[in-house]
């Protein structure tokens, strides 16, 4: 007699067993009390079963694929490290890209992991709950692999070992910290728009595709492999964010204005965060793959624009900031790099003036703006540096109360004017860098009056050894900042003349000559 074999379960059934079948309705307590965060933002959900889980098709193979990717990744990292891969990059300047990346990205991946773990707990529906948990695992994996891929460089170059300490203290890392603090203290639905949508779309596309391709162009196989391994997850993450938006919009028409406000807010916050990634592409990669402006046009204007067209059927309109971002794509990377160049004593990475041929590349990529507004300044600073008068602005900067960027952006329509906006709340003045940041502040001032602004903390005396009297005649704000930040003195200053530059040249000489 033939053996009776049970029919193999279909994809849909397996997904159902592994996700929604694990959920139950509570009996001792009402569901609303168990999931209080799903209602207080004002989002109305009538039927959680309408959630179309973007993970459903990959759920079954997820662990297998991720494990396979991990094995390949670590094989490449090992090979890179054993072959002194740190000497095969184009130029020691490139390593500063990794220093900036290390401080600004893995800690945010960790925050994303925390956030998705929290939101997974708060979503009153088994589909999104499982999807959030899976994304939390991915984010944690990104956090770890990014650090692992850079750890090899840390054996040889300065300024990388205190990134975790610096993340919540350093001025230039405050914008990313603020971005995630803002998102993680929002409700679960806003978090999904902030991270699942704006961060994954606006940021990771540009960070993990053109920037990581730039890593490959510069001979960094470790960063390239991590970037591409991460980007295949990001595609799934974006789908989760987008599904959450569609789900909210399909559930109730009252959700539309709330979601629109979040899309406006987080697209802008993501844009501000991108300025430093663009600076890496335009100024810090010795061998460039494309300009930030080109990347912006491809990934944001074209891809993002198509996405908003797709959402238009729900009544969503293009974010209000879109026009300003198109204008700013010509300027932000130059403004940011000059901003970093002027603070040689306050970053754990080096800065420099681009070489003449690099300036020619910038002229070609930015024909409307570079020669008119930025080349003369860079050439002036270069001449000063060569004359032994390197720019070192020791003053503490003013920051935007919302995005926490230093105030370096121009007034829309006039590249020569600085942009300042001001709000008064409870009798106190609050300054913002743009109309969009001002609008975000004015909508929820209670949230942003708590913003951590590094330069203000210095002046309050919070970065000094205990017992320091800020009113003492000899008190100099900032004199203990290097200790407070745990900055490695060898990592400071201009690239030219740095220990990294000398060591790289000496080691490469040894590696390529007898």
Residues in contact with other proteins by the rule CB under 8 A: 36-37, 40-42, 187, 335, 338-339, 342, 372-374, 376-377, 380-381, 389, 391, 393-398, 406-408, 410, 415-418, 420, 422, 426, 428-431, 443-447, 449-453, 455-456, 459-461, 470-471, 477
CB proximity list for 343: less than 8 A, separation 6 or greater: 392, 393
Q: Is 407 within 8 Å of 431 (Cβ atoms)?
A: yes
Instruction: Give least dist CB 335 to other proteins, A.
Output: 7
Nearest residue to 433 via CA among 456, 397, 401: 401
CA 489, 495, 496, 500 torsion-angle sign: positive
Question: Tokens in use for 284?
Answer: 């810090």
**β-bridge partners, 410:** 418
> In angstroms, rounded to a whole number, what is the distance separating the alpha carbons of residues 212 and 203?
12
Instruction: Give least dist CB 428 to other proteins, A.
Output: 6
Instruction: Give least dist CB 429 to other proteins, A.
Output: 4
Question: Tokens in use for 461?
Answer: 């005396």
Nearest residue to 232 via CA among 168, 141, 152: 141
DSSP 59-95: GGGHHHHHHHHHHHHHHHHHHHHHTTGGGSSS-TTHH
Other C-beta atoms lying within 10 Å of the C-beta of residue 384: 13
Nearest CB to other proteins, comparing residues 25 and 446: 446
> In angstroms, rounded to a whole number, what is the distance separating the alpha carbons of residues 182 and 263?
14
> In angstroms, rounded to a whole number, what is the distance separating the alpha carbons of residues 454 and 444?
21
Nearest CB to other proteins, comparing residues 140 and 373: 373
Nearest CB to other proteins, comparing residues 197 and 262: 262
Instruction: Give least dist CB 158 to other proteins, A.
Output: 25
Instruction: Give least dist CB 478 to other proteins, A.
Output: 11
Instruction: Give least dist CB 348 to other proteins, A.
Output: 20
Q: At what angle do helices 126-154 and 106-122 cross, to 10 degrees?
A: 160
DSSP 370-386: IIIIIHHHHHHHHHHHH
Nearest CB to other proteins, comparing residues 36 and 257: 36
**β-bridge partners, 406:** 399
Nearest CB to other proteins, comparing residues 326 and 398: 398
Instruction: Give least dist CB 106 to other proteins, A.
Output: 26
Nearest CB to other proteins, comparing residues 412 and 445: 445
Nearest CB to other proteins, comparing residues 14 and 431: 431
Instruction: Give least dist CB 397 to other proteins, A.
Output: 4
Nearest CB to other proteins, comparing residues 302 and 392: 392
Nearest CB to other proteins, comparing residues 249 and 458: 458
Instruction: Give least dist CB 470 to other proteins, A.
Output: 6
Q: How far is CA 478 from CA 103, 199, 338, in A?
A: 21, 33, 21
């Amino acid at each position: 007699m033939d053996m009776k074999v049970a029919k193999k379960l279909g994809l849909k059934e397996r997904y159902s067993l592994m996700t929604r079948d694990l959920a139950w309705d509570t009996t001792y307590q009402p569901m609303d009390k168990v999931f209080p965060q799903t209602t207080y933002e004002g989002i109305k959900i009538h039927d959680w079963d309408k959630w179309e889980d973007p993970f459903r098709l990959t759920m079954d193979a997820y662990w297998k694929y991720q494990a396979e990717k991990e094995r390949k990744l670590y094989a490449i990292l090992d090979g890179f490290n054993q072959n002194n891969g740190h000497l095969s990059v184009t130029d020691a300047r490139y390593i500063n890209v990794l220093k900036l990346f290390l401080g600004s990205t893995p800690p945010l991946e960790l925050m994303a992991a925390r956030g998705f773990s929290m939101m997974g707990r708060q979503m009153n529906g088994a589909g999104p709950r499982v999807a959030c948990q899976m994304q939390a695992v991915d984010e944690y994996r990104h956090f770890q692999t990014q650090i692992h891929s850079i750890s090899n460089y840390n054996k040889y170059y300065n300024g990388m070992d205190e990134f975790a300490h610096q993340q919540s203290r350093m001025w230039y890392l405050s914008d990313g910290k603020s971005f995630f603090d803002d998102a993680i203290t929002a409700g679960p639905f806003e978090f999904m728009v902030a991270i699942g949508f704006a961060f994954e779309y606006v940021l990771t596309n540009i960070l993990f595709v053109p920037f990581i391709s730039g890593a490959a162009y510069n001979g960094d196989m470790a960063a390239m492999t991590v970037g591409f391994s991460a980007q295949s997850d990001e595609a799934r993450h974006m789908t989760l964010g987008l599904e959450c938006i569609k789900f909210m919009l399909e559930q109730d028409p009252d959700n539309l204005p709330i979601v629109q406000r979040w899309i406006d807010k987080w697209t802008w916050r993501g844009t501000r965060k991108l300025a430093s990634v663009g600076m890496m592409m335009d100024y810090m990669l010795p061998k460039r793959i494309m300009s930030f402006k080109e990347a912006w046009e491809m990934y944001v204007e074209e891809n993002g624009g198509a996405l908003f067209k797709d959402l238009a059927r729900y009544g969503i309109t293009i974010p209000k900031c879109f026009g300003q971002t198109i204008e700013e794509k010509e300027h932000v990377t130059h403004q940011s790099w000059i901003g970093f160049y002027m603070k040689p004593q306050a970053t754990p990475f080096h800065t420099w003036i681009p070489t003449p041929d690099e300036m020619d590349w910038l002229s070609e990529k930015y024909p409307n703006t570079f020669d008119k507004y930025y080349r003369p300044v860079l050439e002036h600073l270069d001449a000063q540096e060569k004359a032994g008068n390197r720019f070192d602005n020791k003053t503490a900067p003013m920051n935007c109360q919302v995005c926490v960027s230093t105030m370096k952006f121009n007034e829309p329509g006039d590249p020569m004017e600085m942009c300042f906006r001001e709000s008064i709340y409870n009798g106190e003045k609050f300054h913002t860098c743009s109309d969009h940041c001002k609008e975000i502040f004015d909508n929820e001032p209670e949230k942003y009056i708590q913003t951590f602004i590094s330069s203000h903390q210095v002046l309050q005396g919070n970065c000094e050894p205990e017992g320091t009297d800020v009113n003492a005649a000899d008190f100099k704000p900032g004199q203990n900042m290097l200790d407070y930040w745990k900055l490695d003195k060898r990592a400071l200053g201009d690239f030219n003349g740095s220990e990294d530059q000398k060591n790289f040249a000496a080691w490469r000489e040894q590696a390529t000559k007898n």
